Every structure is written in structure tokens, then in C-alpha cells.
Amino acid sequence: MSDCQMVTEPAHLVYDGEVYLGVNCVCFGLSGRMPQKERFVLLRETANGYEYVSTVLTHEDAQSLAGADRIEQVDLYEQRDGTIGLVGTPMKEQGGKTLHMGCYFMEFDDFKNGTLKRDSQGRPAVKFVIKDSNSQPRGQGACTYDKNYDGGVLIIRRVMPPASKKGVVFSLLRTGIHP
């Protein structure tokens, strides 16, 4: 992780008595962000801090899932059957804006080693995708899930006000969907 100039958007999960932290590794070059090097990594807490477990998602994964540049807004969660899942939002730079492309739900094949289930071509196996077509102007927001919440997955909606007003209106939507 020595090339990570910044780590962002932490996802925290306690699993089998151990504390895990997932973070986005953000990389910069002389001309700005370098999405081809950015990734989501999993760390495990130790007595002296955190140790690297694995790189879970890469730029190549983002391209294979949605033609995106990177996957951000990642959250880790335990499903009702006890397996561990991951939800992330593919993002694409377009016309000077970052487009959010929905919430992609995946499952780990082996969480303790940080390996996702993958298809026969090596792409992350997507369990399902949630989108909110009413979100604007940059697409669907982040999602989160807790197995103990009856409302299911929560997704953020962003709505821009009329041109004469300022500010974005954010709201949380209950989907009723349980991974």
C-alpha cells in the first residue's frame, strides 16, 4: 500500500472475533488521480495496528462490472445466513463530473483471506444491483445494509434543486431488499 497517498471511506466489520477495516486506496500522479492504480483493500486489526489482508477490488474489476474507473463507497456487511457481503458503487469520470452507477452487491468466497466470489472469467460475481433512477444529477448514491434492520438495504438519493436555488437534497430510501 506504499503507493496510496490517501485512504478513504472506511468500512468496518467485526467477524469471528476479529476486527476488519476496508479502505479505498487513492493514488495520484503529476496529472492528478490515477484510477488505474486505485483499489479497495482489506486490513485486519493486530496488537500493533492493522495488517494487510488483500486487495479485494481493482480498477480492472470496476471496468469489468460497469465500464467504470473505480469502485468506491464500499461497505462490508453480514448477511442473514452469516456469510459476508460487500456493496460498492462503480464510479466513472465523465465531462468533469463523477457518475455513480448504482450499488453492486457481491459475496466473499473467503472473508478471512479477502477473496470475493468470482465468475469463470475472473470478474467479481455480482449477486444483484440496486439503482435509483430518480437520483440526479450524478446517478445513484451509496448503499448500506444491516441484517438486523427490517427495512433492508438503504440507498442515498440526491436531487438537485431548481437552478434558482442552491443545495442538493439528500434522502435515505429503504428498499426492503435483504441480500
Please count the other Cβ atoms lying within 10 Å of the Cβ belonging to residue 9.
16
**CA gap 28, 148 in Å, rounded:** 39
* Cell triple for 136: 440526479
* Cell triple for 12: 468496518
* Cell triple for 48: 500493533
Give pLDDT tens digits for 90-143: 999 888 888 888 899 999 999 999 999 999 999 999 999 998 777 665 667 789
CATH 2.50.20.10 given to domain 6-131: no
**CA gap 153, 79 in Å, rounded:** 11
Q: Hey, where are the domains in the chain?
A: 6-131
Bond before 137 cis per omega within 30 degrees: yes
Name the residue with cell 479497495.
40
| pTM to 2 decimal places | 0.90
Judged by DSSP in three states, 60 sits in: helix
Q: How many CA within 13 A on the CB side of residue 35? A: 16
Give pLDDT tens digits for 82-94: 999 999 999 998 8
